[in-house]
Amino acid sequence: MNKTYLVIKHEFIKLVRSKGYIIISLLFPLLALAVLGGYQLIQRIGTQDTTPEALSIGYVDEAGGFDDTSQTGEITFTRYQSREETTEALIAGDVSEYFVITPDYISTGRIDRFTLERELEMSGSTRNAVRNFLLNNLLQGQINDEILERAKAPAWFASTRLDETGQVSPEQGGVLSVFLVPYIFSLLFWIAILTSSFTLIEGLGEEKESRVMEILISSVSARQLILGKIIGLGAGGLLQIIFWFVSASFIAGLASSSIGGMFGTLEIPVRLIIFGIAYFILGYLLFAVLFAGIGAIVPNYREGQQLSFFIIMPGIMPLMLIYFLVENPDHVITNIVTFFPISTPIASMIRLAVGNIPPWQIALSMLSLVLSIAGLFFLGTKIFRTFLLMYGKRPGLREIIRSLRQA
Amino acid sequence: MKKVEDMNAVAVSGICKSFNTTLVVDNISFDVRRGEIFGLIGPNGAGKTTAIRMIMDIIKPDSGEISILGERLSEITKNQIGYLPEERGLYRKLTVMDSLVYLASLKGITSQVARSRAEELLKRIDMLPHKNKKIEELSRGMGQFIQFLVAIIHDPQLIILDEPFAGLDPVNTELLKEVTLELRNQGKAIILSTHRMNEVEELCDRIFMIHKGQNVLYGELAEIKSRYRNNSILLDFEGELPHLEGITGKHDYRDHIELFFDKETSPHKILEQLMNQEIKINRFEVSTPSLNDIFIQLVEKE
């Protein structure tokens, strides 16, 4: 059997069975469920306020002319003759609250409202119902019903983006996808890299410290070992993300239409998904190779973590520059972060989401990723076996360069 | 084509290795035969581990050739070698069985075979009940034995043991010696790397002594010992020591004396003289120097 495959299998199973992996995998769906549950609980509490008693609202018409209560929806409006009478009805619980249309309402718009509840603010549904009731009575008969309906809801926006030539741009979708897609991508990207790559450093560190490395290196080549680890752990990271997506769509199905609606409007172009996956895999491979190099060189896990910080920082950079990248597609800084391999995946995703990256730049950024992965892997495996069996002290830069030349 | 049985397990010729500017292994050559325990001996830092790593293709020699079972080193020859490293350790969180099966499968045997071999070997050393324990739950000596099993589970033709007895209690040491001798009798080639000369004298058929990266002694243990014989006998007797022909010196010890004799005299001649004088002898032994003495002698000569 192919030894690389054996290493892949071993690393994959070891990662997937580990406590940390299981916890992080379950954490996100559970968190989403908790948020969703909380949201629905709050909503239910909100609707409990307007249960039977709340559905009945009393009013006194001191201005005159407000007597059509037919279009108030689920809330019934009951007309009373005087304030005193309505107060008694409120105390008796016949109505949950009442309002008075003051005599000078037409000129001032003043409505006196009375309630037994202590509240922060009037509930939205009541406000809406009263508003519609007033509009109805004010305008009925004076304009046709269609215009009345429009007056109640005057605008529904449909936005279309045009490109420089005035044609309808192929990239539609609002500002939400411009920022949300790169952010979701970056979040998933970093979580996958942090779980997989740190496991890589940790694993190499453990094998060095426990000296299993000696047995491993006497059984498989350094290349097989590193490749097996990268693929095995990468597959574990990918499985985690697939699990999140599956559970996310499941949870979205559970969610009420209001939340679902928000994501429903978020249309992610297929192109973005395909390039997203490509950048994700290339980006992961680049970081994994870099982290494997760190893992091979440092004597223990802690030092590896410190060193890896210097790689993660430039990787996150594009996210901090997101506004700059969106607004200055031709700036030299934009080009630098697009083609510098470590920052390429996220920078390219941001620019792809906005649609301001020309195809040749996509091709070049991918090429720079592929070349640096191949180059680093080639150089890396040359020095791996020297440093994998070196314990104690971290070699200096000069020592690494010398061993590269000798390899 | 030579038959496999006739071939040496290991043939090392003229290998050199230097790290930075220090020459760690300096032009050494030796063969290891099947069915023998070969002692690779020398003090700490002599170059033993570097030599072993080159045999296992972990490090490439700067010059010289190494072949295993008649073949040049490759990823395939790695499967024919079992290795017990000097520094001990395994995956702490993995069970005994999983560790054995994973590391055995990396040596090219299927996990089914590995599993049944593991059962067999664990039974041989009375550790079968521990097979589902995690490595970290085992005692130090047990863990060391599991590592030894890792070295032999894939039925390798060449077994390299680096300081195998370090840290073992006397009972486990005996068991390990027993299993090692069994393996030798099955025709395996075993390289025993150590700096403890008493283990070498007890187990090894042939030795290679390395000092500062160079060959200082190589050959059959018995032949070497007779070559470095220092012309003396050890004697314990009752009564007065009579005058004996050919004796050049005497050294008193607590329970015996050592008599040195000249080149014309043989131990047999001395025994004859003693018998003629009707001395009551409790012990008569031709003295052979310990490897330790030989080693010190060789090193001090420089």
Whether B291 and B201 have beta carbons less than 8 Å apart is answered as yes
Across chain B, which has 302 residues, the per-10-residue mean pLDDT values are 64 87 88 92 84 86 88 83 85 89 91 92 89 88 89 92 88 91 92 87 90 87 80 84 82 86 83 84 83 79 64
Please enumerate in sequence order all residues whose Cβ is within 8 A of that of B193, keeping only pairs 6 or more positions apart, or say none.
B39, B40, B41, B48, B49, B52, B86, B160, B161, B162, B163
State which residue of chain A sits closest to B83, comparing Cα positions: A215
Cβ distance A389 to B105 less than 8 Å, yes or no, reads: no
Other Cβ atoms closer than 10 A to B68: 26
DSSP A10-67: HHHHHHHHSHHHHHHHHHHHHHHHHHHHHHHHHHHHHHHHTSGGGGEEEEEESSS---
Question: What pTM value is reported for the model?
Answer: 0.71
| Residue A392: pLDDT over 90 | no
Residue A106 C-alpha from the chain's centroid? 48
CA angle A10, A394, B75 (to 5 degrees): 40
Across all residues in chain A, what is the average pLDDT?
79
Q: Is the pLDDT of residue A135 over 60?
A: yes
Task: Determine which of A105-119, A270-284, A377-391 has the lowest per-residue pLDDT on average.
Answer: A377-391
Q: What is the pLDDT of residue A195?
A: 75
Which of the two residues, A262 and B74, has the higher pLDDT score? B74
Q: Say yes or no for a CB contact (<8 Å) between A210 and B91.
A: yes
Where are the domains positioned within chain B? 4-226, 231-286
The confidence score (pLDDT) of residue B101 equals 93
Task: Please tell me the predicted confidence (pLDDT) of residue A293.
Answer: 82
Contact between residue A2 and residue A221 where contact means Cβ atoms under 8 Å apart: no
| CATH code that applies to domain B4-226 | 3.40.50.300
CA distance B162 to B166: 9
Segment A181-200, tens digit of pLDDT: 777 777 877 777 777 777 88
pLDDT of residue A253: 67
- Whole-number Å distance between alpha carbons of B189 and A93: 99
- Residue A27's pLDDT band, with cuts at 50, 70 and 90, is confident
Which residues in A lie closer than 8 A to residue B79 (C-beta atoms)?
219
Q: Is A210 exposed, middle or buried (0-12, 13-18, 19+ CB in 10 A)?
A: middle
Return the percentage of chain A with pLDDT > 70, whole number. Answer: 82
Would you state the pLDDT for residue A50? 47
Q: Which of B248, B246, B293 is nearest to B270 (CA)?
A: B246
Closest by alpha carbon to A72, among A118, A164, A124, A135?
A135
Domain boundaries, given as residue ranges, for chain A: 53-152, 174-406
- Pick the residue of B55, B84, B88, B105 with the most A CBs within 10 A to test the interface with A by mutation: B105
Question: Looking at per-residue confidence, does A322 or B158 come out higher?
Answer: B158
Asked if A217 reaches chain B (Cβ–Cβ under 8 Å), the answer is: yes
Q: Using alpha carbons, list the distances in angstroms from residue A264 to A9, A319, A353.
A: 38, 25, 17
- The CATH code that applies to domain A53-152 is 3.40.190
* Cβ separation B106–A217 shorter than 8 A: no
End-to-end Cα separation, chain B, in angstroms: 44
List of chain A residues whose C-beta atoms are within 8 Å of the C-beta of residue B53? 389
Residue A355 vs residue A47, higher pLDDT: A355
pLDDT of residue A395: 64
Start-to-end C-alpha separation, chain A: 28
B169-172 contacts at long range (C-beta below 8 A, 24 or more positions apart): B169/B141, B172/B141, B172/B144, B172/B145
| CB contacts, 8 Å: A3 with chain B | 75, 106, 108
Residue A46: its pLDDT value, please? 60
Q: To the nearest 10°, the Cα dihedral for B91, B96, B97, B101?
A: 40
| Closest Cα in chain B to A384 | B58
Question: How far apart are the C-alpha atoms of B201 and A81, rounded to whole Å?
Answer: 119
